[in-house]
Each structure stands twice: as structure tokens, then as C-alpha cells.
Amino acid sequence: MASTIFTNIRILVNTRAESPLLYGKALAHLPCIENAWLLVEDDTIAGYGPMEEMPSKYSSVKEVVDAKGCLVLPAWCDSHTHIVFAGSRENEFVDKIRGLSYAEIAARGGGILNSAGKLRDASEDELFSQAWRRLEEISKQGTGAVEIKSGYGLTVESELKMLRVIRKLREKSPLSIKATFLGAHTYPPEFKENHQGYIDQIINEMLPAIAKEKLADYIDVFCETGFFSEEETANICRAGITYGLKPKIHANQLNLSGGTQVGVAMGAISVDHLETMDDYAIKTLAASKTIGTLLPAAAFFLRMKFQPARELIDAGCAIALASDFNPGSSPSGNMNLVLAMSCIQMRMLPEEAINAATLNGAHAMELGQELGSITIGKKANLILTRTVPSIAYLPYAFGSPLVDRVMIAGNWLS
């Protein structure tokens, strides 16, 4: 049996016997052990505790890692990305610097449609190799589980192509991967004047084909002014649910879209973005089991007001943090930066941010019992940091490469 023991860990972070979804105040409680040991057997966390209680029989394991001065954390669980895309959109980035808004770029046929055009021209192999490089990049930065959406296809054929690429990533990568069908990302040019026609295609053609090949775990809709209305979102979610796909929704990004209320009414696993919230949306979310997934990198990149994390947490919501890695609103999947932004710009405490990026992120992919904390029997997806003085140092020293090594399913990434 391949086994690794970590000794002298300065702080072993997020040690838990149970793995509940964390709501409101519970997010600020991050259980840790100082001067700890941790045993990994095969791909699983097999034991941990304070150094003075380390059983001596573990001294003969294959690999001993002296983690003196370092932290060990559960790897990041990034529950919202769009990493299957073709090329990049830095031309629009420059347009935004010159003054155009995200909505104005989209209205000109840029934005999501720009990526959809590029994706339709790319082969499955080309898309796979681009997405693979992004997976390698984020895993080296400490991400061990990731949700990936379709939504740059916008035709039956291209949406299936994207979802097959995600399936192949899942087959070949050691990371835990969940797939989300986001056909309702925007309207393709051929349905510009016939929105219901495209929704019918999503419901009557795309969903049955996706279900037949079991290509998706979740259904997503961009519920937003100029994109999909509350009613359209509800109809698409209902159709997805009949095929066994639970909703995870793009909600309240640019406007008070009603997406949070629809998501909650549909029993969504999560409503994501939440830059633009009012009291009613916050109260609705707080009274539900739906997770609010905050994407501060998108707010940062689009120069928008950050998500009201404090109000959401104080109201009692379950909050997760994710990167939104995509070519238009967050061309980075670096969860270390997401952590820093959430503390610096949204006033989340480092403990809250770490819980939101690990255990609650795992719950936002229904992996809360397998990942997201240091718990016996969970998969050994771990971050070993460089020498750092404290937990708060991680978001404080933003931009410093503090992740030294990453272990995925018991194996070190090279």
C-alpha cells in the first residue's frame, strides 16, 4: 500500500469528523490542529492528530514529509468554471479598458457569442488540449475538484462536443470533475429573433441527447436581463430536472434578475454570482438550503461592485467561493487569488473564505462527503504550503506563490 505521512505540520487546516454544509456564523469556525501529523494511505486520508499523539507504528511508512513551518489544507474545490473554451478574448478586455461595458460588448455580438464562434470552429481534440492545459494550471495552484460548464456551443452538435470534452477530461484527469449543461447561456445568432425556438431546442433536442449519453450532472441558465427571464429559467430548469439534472444557476450578476428566487424555488444546489442583491433576494437565499456561490474574480475583472458577502453571511446563507474561470469575465482560475479578493474586497474572514473554498465548495458539487476537509476516509486532495506564519497569511500575501506542492488522490503532482 502506498502511504505518505506528514509530520510536524505547523497547522493542519479544516480537520473535521463530520462534513456539514456551513451556514452563516458556522463559516467562521475553521477547526485546525497545530503541530500535527497526517497519514495518507493510497488515495485516502487515513489518520491525523497532534504530533505528541502520533502512533509509533506509522514511522515505517514509504514517504515521510517533514512539514515543519508549513500548512496542510484540503485542496480547493472550485464549483463554478467554464474552462472548455477556444482561444481568448483580450481584444474585448482592451475595449473594456477603453470604456465599453460587458453588456455593450455582448449586445454587439461579442462576449459569449465571440467564444461560441471560436468553439464551433475548434475540433474536439483541440478543445481538449486547451482545457487540459488549464486543468494542469489550476491543479498546480491547489485546485483538486472542479465543476465545468458547457455553454459556448449553443447548437446541439457543439454543446454535445463541449460536454464530451468534459467527459474526456473527467476520464483522464485525477481531479474530481462535475459537468454542467449551460445551453441557456445566450441565444445563438440563428435564434436572435426567435428566443422560444432556441428554448424549445434546448428542451426537446439538447436535453434528451445529453441525458442519453449521461453527459451532465447539472443544468444551468444565465438568468439575466437580455438573456433568460425568470419564467424561461424556471421552464428550462424544470425540463432539466425531469432528466435528473439538478439546477445550478447564474443569478443576480448584472441586474436584480430574480435568479436567486427562481433558483431557490427550483431547489437549486447553488445560485452563483450574486453581485446585485437586494434584501428580498438575500432573505430568500438565507431561508433556503441553496448555496450562494460568490465569484469575486468576475466582479474584479468586470470592475463591478463585489458580492455582499458580509450581508449574506450575517443573514445566515451558506456561501461557497469559486473562480468562474472563463474567457470573458474571469480569465483566471487561481483560487488563491479568489481567497485574497474575498477577504480584501468582501471582508470575509480568512477562516470563512477557506471554509467557503473547500468544504462548502465541495457541497456545491455534491462532493461534501468525499472532499473539502481533513476527514478520515476522504480523498487525499491536499495543499502543502511553503513556510508561512499563519492561516491569515494566505490571503494577506496575495499573489505570492505560497502553494508548494499539491497532492491529488494520494499522488503528488509533478
Binding site residues, ligand NIG, CB under 6 A: 111-112, 115, 222, 250, 253, 298, 324, 326-329
Q: Are 139 and 406 in contact (CB under 8 A)?
A: yes
Q: Are 267 and 246 in contact (CB under 8 A)?
A: yes
What is 19-39 written as a DSSP string? -PPPBGGGGG---EEEEEEEE
- H/E stretch holding 284: helix 279-286
For the CB of residue 261, give the shortest distance to ligand NIG in the complex, in Å: 18
Stretch that binds Fe ion, among 95-103, 105-113, 263-271, 318-326 (CB under 5 A): 318-326
Residue closer to ligand NIG by CB (options 48, 187) is: 187
381 binds, options ligand NIG, Fe ion, none, Cβ within 5 to 8 A by partner type: none
**Total residue count of the chain as it appears in this document:** 414
275 binds, options ligand NIG, Fe ion, none, Cβ within 5 to 8 A by partner type: none
For the CB of residue 81, give the shortest distance to Fe ion in the complex, in Å: 8
Residue closer to ligand NIG by CB (options 147, 351) is: 147
Residue closer to ligand NIG by CB (options 273, 378) is: 273
**What is the rounded distance in angstroms from the CA atom of residue 195 to the CA atom of residue 107?**
15
Residue closer to Fe ion by CB (options 22, 249) is: 249
- List, in sequence order, every residue forming a beta bridge with 180; answer none if it has no partner: 149, 218
| Per-residue 3-state assignment (H helix, E strand, C coil) for 158-181 | HHHHHHHHHHHHHHHCCCEEEEEE
Residue closer to ligand NIG by CB (options 329, 373) is: 329
410 binds, options Fe ion, ligand NIG, none, Cβ within 5 to 8 A by partner type: none
324 binds Fe ion (CB under 5 A): yes
For the CB of residue 33, give the shortest distance to ligand NIG in the complex, in Å: 37
For the CB of residue 183, give the shortest distance to ligand NIG in the complex, in Å: 13
Sheet with strand 318-321: strands edge to edge: 76-81, 143-149, 176-184, 218-221, 246-251, 270-273, 291-294, 318-321
Residue closer to ligand NIG by CB (options 111, 296) is: 111
224 binds Fe ion (CB under 5 A): no
275 binds Fe ion (CB under 5 A): no
Residue closer to Fe ion by CB (options 158, 373) is: 158
Stretch that binds Fe ion, among 40-48, 70-78, 316-324, 382-390 (CB under 5 A): 316-324
- Cβ-proximal residue to Fe ion, closest one: 324
For the CB of residue 46, give the shortest distance to ligand NIG in the complex, in Å: 38
Residue closer to ligand NIG by CB (options 111, 395) is: 111
What is 228-252 written as a DSSP string? B-HHHHHHHHHHHHHTTPEEEEEES
For the CB of residue 8, give the shortest distance to Fe ion in the complex, in Å: 40
**What is the rounded distance in angstroms from the CA atom of residue 319 to the CA atom of residue 217?**
21
Q: Are 217 and 166 in contact (CB under 8 A)?
A: no
352 binds Fe ion (CB under 5 A): no
258 binds, options Fe ion, ligand NIG, none, Cβ within 5 to 8 A by partner type: none
86 binds, options Fe ion, ligand NIG, none, Cβ within 5 to 8 A by partner type: none
**What is the rounded distance in angstroms from the CA atom of residue 199 to the CA atom of residue 213?**
20
- List, in sequence order, every residue forming a beta bridge with 179; answer none if it has no partner: 148
- Distance linking the first and last C-alpha atoms of the chain: 20
- List, in sequence order, every residue forming a beta bridge with 66; answer none if it has no partner: 7
Residues that bind Fe ion (CB under 5 A): 324
